[in-house]
Chains A and B, each alone.
Chain A
């Protein structure tokens, strides 16, 4: 039990909802004895490296994040005979190239299918994350992750799948129109145009383009002989392909395209799943506890997530946190912390000036008030001095 593998938890019918986590689990399940490691459900905010999958080696007390560094570390500390057959130069080059290709091209495809598409996200992916994360975190982390994923697939130009954003845009447009026009037609009286396009889901409208995008990527992947690649590479490819094929989503264009035209890839996914996992997802050595489940820690992560969403301040806050974490690695000077300081400084200046403004007497106010001088002992010369000494030191002031 000297190895703890922190991963996103199971969901979508697979051992993990994230591709690299899934690949790591497959790698462990294939090459490491079940007694030697334990899987811990986690989220990036719970591990010190802020990245999943993360491996904690109890013996060396070190953290390793990301699939490549995990497999690298495992090969350094364990004897893995199946993996360690000397790879040729070609296999090694291919492994690097295809790993990069999967991350750059297969991931955006998965993103389109699982995160950008509103229907798939709300019915399957969001519930999966809610089940994995402890209570309040389901409100902060999945939206942040989705936003990042959507940015990742932006260049494919398929944002129309995001019906939520579409509805919002439409509503804004209607509101602007209503504000500009001087006759307001109640919504109920508006004639709605119901063409064929209205009845189709965004995925159906964009079906041809989606299939084209999928084909571009899957053509490249289908041309590879995956059984001839080295073990880590097989696990990685399987994880990405499994996330395309296995999840049962309502708008299953990716799954359908794969099943129809890429039988080889489907066979590879199913064959490997049967061979590498003993029987069910439950048979993996999951730990009972979730990582850092204490109320305080979860509360802290939740507060952090909330703070990151505050308009204006959130960006600076995140950047400051990131800088603080990464200063050593990044070799950057304190540019980011300056920003947070500036925002804080601006806030202080604003509040102080508001207070001062209220304190400053208004010049030329219409009503001037004079008050009678409060009688004191000082008014009556030397005797007054004496008396005030008796009365207390306050009168000196």
Chain B
């Protein structure tokens, strides 16, 4: 029987003029465009990629990032002996909106390839180390349990006075506007207008961040909380002194008597390194009376403990001299 061949459903006949038109100009689907060449190494690698704020040149050579949060984890992973590649990026690239994050290599079958935010990087490093003990010996030590609670109090010195001083110096202090342009506004756009707007937004955000801290709160009732630069710098100075003091007390050269550098050391290094690298001031002859430079403060804190600590970590993690 002819039942096997069902007639096709009835269609409207195509009008002649349209038929001619489509015959003359046929629809054609082009091949998908290749990804740009520079995106290739970002995904098709066997190494995990760490996305950080950095200039393209620094990222290629594996040099330290210019963002303290990123540098802390970059240092940590390097000390832990986890091999990774650095990718210069911005926080728009991050699934959580924050850098750094680590993208595991696509070739691995054991772990998932979803990005790892910074809060889970420590456990990732431990896991990688356990999987492949052939990686260089993990030098990341833990703080002795007797000092863990005390170290939390000192961590708040890094998270607030030092961070505020860095924010103040980079965003609000006009001496470092060129630095801000090189780091953040320059790569974002080449238009002067966009850069100026961006700079303004960044400044307001930094100011809000500093003002959120404890002792500015009472000014909120008066409606006019204002960032007091001298106070920010003074508090940072006290914090650096205190950190130098506790480092001297430790005796091993690492914080809280640990055998090797711990995550806390990395957090301190992230700020001291950047302050010395970019905010060291013009030296003896160029500096004006009353000018305070964060880099100089780091160098002079205590009896130079922090400077020695910075050099030690720089050598251990990045293999560079002072």
Where the two chains meet, the residues of A that have a C-beta atom closer than 8 Å to any C-beta of B are 8, 18, 20, 43-45, 50-52, 66-67, 89-90, 92-94, 96-98, 100-101, 103-105, 107, 141-142, 144-145, 147-149, 151-152, 219-220, 223, 301, 304-305, 308, 318, 321-323, 325-326, 329-333, 335
Contact = CB atoms under 8 A, between A and B. Distances in A.
Contacts of A93: 241-243, 245-246, 249
Nearest to A155: B212
B221 A96 contact: no
Interface string B222-238: 11111111110000001
Given A97-B156, A105-B156, A331-B174, A43 B222 contact: yes
Contacts, number: 143
B242 A332 contact: no
A261 to B, nearest CB: 15
Given A97-B156, A100-B160, A330 B220 contact: no
Interface string B174-216: 1000000000000000000000000010010000000011111
Which residue among A142, A145, A148 has the maximum number of chain B CB atoms within 10 Å of its CB?
Answer: A148
A272 to B, nearest CB: 20
B226 A142 contact: no
Interface in B73-91: none
Contacts of B174: 331-333
B320 interface: no
Given A100-B157, A149-B217, A301-B222, 11 more contacts: A44-B221, A45-B223, A97-B154, A100-B153, A101-B153, A103-B160, A104-B213, A142-B221, A304-B223, A330-B226, A331-B174
22 contacts: A43-B221, A44-B219, A50-B225, A51-B216, A52-B218, A90-B246, A94-B150, A97-B153, A100-B153, A100-B157, A101-B152, A101-B153, A103-B214, A142-B221, A144-B223, A145-B220, A147-B220, A148-B217, A148-B225, A308-B223, A322-B226, A335-B200
Interface residues of B, number: 44
Which residue among A8, A101, A147, A323 has the maximum number of chain B CB atoms within 10 Å of its CB?
Answer: A101
Contacts of B126: none
Contacts of B230: 329
B248 interface: yes
B161 interface: yes
Given A89-B248, A304-B223, A308-B223, A145 B229 contact: no
A305 B219 CA distance: 12
A218 B100 CA distance: 31
Contacts of B243: 93
Contacts of A101: 152-153, 156
A96 B239 contact: yes
A89 B216 CA distance: 28
A101 B157 CA distance: 7
Contact of A18 (B154, B212, B218, B242): B218
A323 B226 contact: yes
B159 interface: yes
B222 A45 contact: yes
A348 B3 CA distance: 82
A321 B224 contact: yes
Contacts of A331: 173-174, 229
A366 B16 CA distance: 51
Contacts of A304: 222-223
Contacts of A301: 222
A94 B157 CA distance: 11
Nearest to A148: B220
B221 A45 contact: yes
Contacts of A45: 221-223
A335 B241 CA distance: 34
A89 B213 contact: no
B212 A152 contact: yes
A66 B248 contact: no
B153 A98 contact: yes
B27 interface: no
B92 to A, nearest CB: 22
A92 B249 CA distance: 12
Which residue among B212, B226, B231 has the maximum number of chain A CB atoms within 10 Å of its CB?
Answer: B226
